[in-house]
Structure 1
């Protein structure tokens, strides 16, 4: 809503028809109710045909329109007309001009009507302009006094009432009195006293000063009138206007002629008058701390009329009381809003943080109320006590909302984190030998991610403890199942006969890692495409636990491999064999991806890309740190005996094997496939020369040749048993994982920044 409605012409505010009561124009009230700015209310009173409307038009900034000047002997303005314009000097204020009907209208012949109009002007205005002609003489003083008698009677009643109830002092009332500006029109005399020139203000003060010495009752009465004027108008100003023009024709059309056609002195005094009104007159106030807006003014107008018609100030006082109560109610509502907005603006995670936020918000709400409070019969302390009491209730409601919101958020987070564990529980994946250790590891991983999530609210700890409590019975069952299965199938601690396939199989199946150190063993296969990695995976699965051969990994054709991702296949609870995308050139981009896998920076079951950008590689290294118990990666190179080993391949493979040992701490295992070839013996020698100790010549089980043969079984089982022996040795001598991780990041960062794509 705009702070002030646009008014192109004045509107009648209070109508005063002949022989009828004063009443308010509803259309004018609607306009006032739309004004949200403080009002500077300036009214003009005086005899009709004394030029009041001309001055008001000048103040409005529109001297050629607005209030009707009335160029006949009939009084033109009936009642009180208003014109609201943006204040030209006081930003954010509205100038409300009130032009009253001329006093002494012969058609009405009602002095009481004149007195009511004058008293209304005094009640409603920031400044009252009294317009008279010729000179300030005793007759002019008498008329002014008679017009304020009604106001005097009204205010005297108010003063008596206040004295009985301990109200405001007269000094405070004087501060709230309107400015009084006496405008003397057509002043033809020289402003002199005792032969000396005086200012207009000095001239006014001389005219209303006490007569001394007082020798007659008439003189005493004159002093009473003059004292009353001084008392009721402590802020006084006077302007003396000469004739606007000697040409009566020009005077009759002053609103339509140029200022150059008017007397210079008249034009100058008009400018001085406007400057004073616009610079000095303040906003209308009910109390020193409470200015009046248009909406407030509209609320009080009917009360103003009742005051002057019934000569009882209590009508206005009760309206002001009601208005103050409404304003203070609004101030309370605004203070509640300040409190609620501050409480909602900040997230809290503890009860202490909530209490601190509440205290800061209460302080802000109290400051807001103190700023908006309007003086009232209910004092400020009582309102503030009510405000603090209400805010305590709101605190309880806000705390309840915080609890509910936090609980809802935390439960949603837990549901998201436990989806994998819930699935495992339903599928009874933990109800196996070693299942309890896996369950505890998954539970701890969920707890860690939960604790890392920020802004969970005040119920974060309570909700997670409730969830952990729910898991106790499930964990107990898993532990009992694990112990029972372990008792039925005791772990084989030692292989007595390395040639016994059954003994080797039992040892591999029952092998368990020390859970406080590592999560699982990853037998990571590397090699060129089509060299038999996937077939090797199928063979390992077949000999360890699958009683018959199945193509789990996807056997490749003789024309090259088809595996494009890094996929894990679980042999036992502790051992997973990992198939991998085959090399094409084993250049630096491929080598970087291989080393990232060896350093635990690549997740299982994801597509392997050789051509990642530098940015993608750096992001891969700076992701959230892995679990504190990492996988143990055993590097295994698969090489087909049908392929010769050229010089370039030899150099790249030996470099890869050396780096693989350095990064994992485990000497790589070499698997030679298709060993019926004449190159098998030569390749065995070459890998031995490279320093490799664990070299195995195998014939994979294939879709075309999967009949179980003891010799084949024994080769794969021996390989797996040797892997486990190597892991045990590694765990006994390895250092701290976090130290390894820092070395891995440094190595991969350096390699990512210097490698060249081929």
Structure 2
């Protein structure tokens, strides 16, 4: 047994030796280059050609799989070469039998059959069919070949597994490696196990791709420090939404949404990093501006300029001027109030000392001035606390948006997958009904009656899926919601209570 792959632009071709041929093409035309081996049989041991796998791995577009089955020396290689636009891809040495009619009907629900005459009646030419020019082939066979090739390039559908999983070049490469490794180990290949292996790889890559995209977009769009926390959270929400969409596009069979939960945690961690960078940038910027604005004040304090009668008034005037200029500085960021509050606290002892040394003020005036300074500090603390509470609320709203966005996109994906499953099951039902009809018409009454159990079982499965799948989707969304809450929201405090309350409302709306 051997296998061959040809690549040219967006077209690839596989030939599986013996009595079968497997072709994969990307609907961009028949012109291909020289084939290379995909699956080799060396001393009755199967192995995968890594060069071929590398070619497949670079193909992210959907692919079409074409299978040609026939006896040895019946023109399979020629058909593959015609698909590839060549007339030279080598005779395999191992023969395979034709599958029985029942197997073809069972494993190929949707099929298009072509009948071919012999390529030539000349035995010598037939023995070397790969080297024969088209002029030496039977005209009727050539016409049949043209019809076949035209159909494949016009009507062949993208290879799709159960649940609407589209097979790309790199996914097909992973499946091939998994199958060959399983066969070589002596085990029986299982599609479900192969798909699970494929899903693990693809979903891990999808998490990384989505997380990297989030970080890249945030880095490009956020200019530190942001004027407000909300400004950064708005950018975060947009980047997170796009990152989740990327994950949904590239992931499949994410059992229990384990990989989506990983993405949520990854984005939450990266968001915290950006929040921290934003705060640090604001602190550094505000501190630098305050140092610049208060330079003259600090020099006057050191020179004793305020240690004179009326010095307290001079000091407060200078301090108010610094405050006015400070608040006029644009884009100081989220730590502007906190940095200024620290500045005021650092000046409290100095102001008290200047106030007490000011001989121009009576004791009563000094007491009033001290009380006024104390009140001013308290007001500033209240403003800072108000800002912090507002930012906590914004954080809570951002976390709720994260929850809603993940649930909304997962719900949309699950519903599409559900529709694909029902569509596939209905097509299988139509196929079985048609097969039953054909068997009856061909005189196989007993076999036709035996299919009744299969048909009834499939009908029940479809009816059950229509109802059970909706409740399954709801349970899945509830589970994801709980996981997201534990991943991005603290386990205690008012913020957690508010988010849980919001999530409960969300689930009620979702189930309606």
Please indicate the TM-score interval, normalised by the length of the shorter structure: 0.5 to 0.7
Q: Paired residues, what number? A: 333
C-alpha RMSD over aligned residues: 4.0
1:12 aligns with 2:51: no
Corresponding residue of 1:411 = 287
Alpha-carbon spacing, 1:257–1:387, altered in 2? closer, same or farther (3 Å): closer
Question: Cα distance, 1:433 vs. partner?
Answer: 5.9
1:64-112 C-alpha deviation (Å, 9 max, x unpaired): 55x23xxxxxxx235xxxxxxxxxxxxxxxxxxxxxx6x2xxxxxxxxx
Corresponding residue of 2:73 = 49
Alpha-carbon spacing, 1:311–1:272, altered in 2? closer, same or farther (3 Å): farther
Q: Retained in 2: the 8 A contact 1:3–1:34?
A: no
Alpha-carbon spacing, 1:64–1:452, altered in 2? closer, same or farther (3 Å): farther
Runs ≥4 residues deviating over 6 A: 2-7, 245-258
Q: Retained in 1: the 8 A contact 2:175–2:195?
A: yes
Corresponding residue of 1:657 = none
1:270 aligns with 2:145: yes
1:144 aligns with 2:98: yes
Corresponding residue of 1:374 = 252
Within a 5 Å distance, the mapping from 1:462-611 to structure 2 comes to: 462-479=338-355, 483-484=358-359
Distance 1:303 1:445 in 2: 74
The structure 2 residue matched to 1:77, chosen from 92, 97, 119, is 92
Larger radius of gyration between Structure 1 and Structure 2: 1
Question: Cα distance, 1:359 vs. partner?
Answer: 5.2
Higher RCO, Cα 8 Å, sep 6+: 2
Question: Cα distance, 1:232 vs. partner?
Answer: 1.6
Question: Cα distance, 1:442 vs. partner?
Answer: 3.6
Within a 5 Å distance, the mapping from 1:637-676 to structure 2 comes to: none
Q: Retained in 1: the 8 A contact 2:40–2:46?
A: yes
Distance 2:246 2:117 in 1: 52
Alpha-carbon spacing, 1:28–1:329, altered in 2? closer, same or farther (3 Å): closer
The structure 1 residue matched to 2:103, chosen from 217, 221, 228, is 228
Distance 1:329 1:321 in 2: 12
Corresponding residue of 1:669 = none
1:678-722 C-alpha deviation (Å, 9 max, x unpaired): xxxxxxxxxxxxxxxxxxxxxxxxxxxxxxxxxxxxxxxxxxxxx
The structure 2 residue matched to 1:303, chosen from 160, 175, 178, is 178
Alpha-carbon spacing, 1:392–1:404, altered in 2? closer, same or farther (3 Å): same
Corresponding residue of 2:84 = 60
1:320 aligns with 2:195: yes
Distance 2:111 2:189 in 1: 28
The structure 1 residue matched to 2:296, chosen from 412, 420, 436, is 420
1:361-405 C-alpha deviation (Å, 9 max, x unpaired): 5544443333333114x233x544554455555554443333223
Question: Cα distance, 1:467 vs. partner?
Answer: 0.8
1:117-160 C-alpha deviation (Å, 9 max, x unpaired): xxxxxxxxxxxxxxxxxxxxxxxxxx423xxxxxxxxxxxxxxx
Show structure 2 runs of 5+ residues with no match.
1-7, 13-31, 363-512
Corresponding residue of 1:452 = 328
Within a 5 Å distance, the mapping from 1:221-260 to structure 2 comes to: 225-242=100-117
Corresponding residue SS for 2:204: helix
Alpha-carbon spacing, 1:435–1:269, altered in 2? closer, same or farther (3 Å): farther
Question: Cα distance, 1:45 vs. partner?
Answer: 4.0
Alpha-carbon spacing, 1:485–1:434, altered in 2? closer, same or farther (3 Å): closer
Q: Retained in 2: the 8 A contact 1:40–1:282?
A: yes
TM-score, normalised to structure 1's length?
Answer: 0.38
1:467-503 C-alpha deviation (Å, 9 max, x unpaired): 122123333444555x43799xxxxxxxxxxxxxxxx
1:203-238 C-alpha deviation (Å, 9 max, x unpaired): xxxxxxxxxxxxxxxxxxxxxx43332122222222
Q: Retained in 2: the 8 A contact 1:45–1:52?
A: yes
Question: Cα distance, 1:298 vs. partner?
Answer: 3.1
Alpha-carbon spacing, 1:238–1:392, altered in 2? closer, same or farther (3 Å): closer
Corresponding residue of 1:748 = none
Distance 2:190 2:131 in 1: 43
Question: Cα distance, 1:462 vs. partner?
Answer: 0.8
Question: Cα distance, 1:324 vs. partner?
Answer: 1.0
The structure 2 residue matched to 1:333, chosen from 208, 212, 218, is 208
Question: Cα distance, 1:461 vs. partner?
Answer: 0.8
Question: Cα distance, 1:44 vs. partner?
Answer: 3.7
Alpha-carbon spacing, 1:311–1:227, altered in 2? closer, same or farther (3 Å): farther
Distance 1:416 1:40 in 2: 68
Corresponding residue SS for 2:38: strand
Question: Cα distance, 1:350 vs. partner?
Answer: 4.0
1:427-473 C-alpha deviation (Å, 9 max, x unpaired): 44444566555544443333233222232221111111111221233
Alpha-carbon spacing, 1:23–1:245, altered in 2? closer, same or farther (3 Å): closer
Distance 1:431 1:4 in 2: 84
1:561-609 C-alpha deviation (Å, 9 max, x unpaired): xxxxxxxxxxxxxxxxxxxxxxxxxxxxxxxxxxxxxxxxxxxxxxxxx
Corresponding residue of 1:38 = 62
1:528-570 C-alpha deviation (Å, 9 max, x unpaired): xxxxxxxxxxxxxxxxxxxxxxxxxxxxxxxxxxxxxxxxxxx
TM-score, normalised to structure 2's length?
Answer: 0.54
1:24 aligns with 2:39: no
Alpha-carbon spacing, 1:269–1:421, altered in 2? closer, same or farther (3 Å): farther
Distance 1:316 1:231 in 2: 16
Corresponding residue SS for 1:41: strand
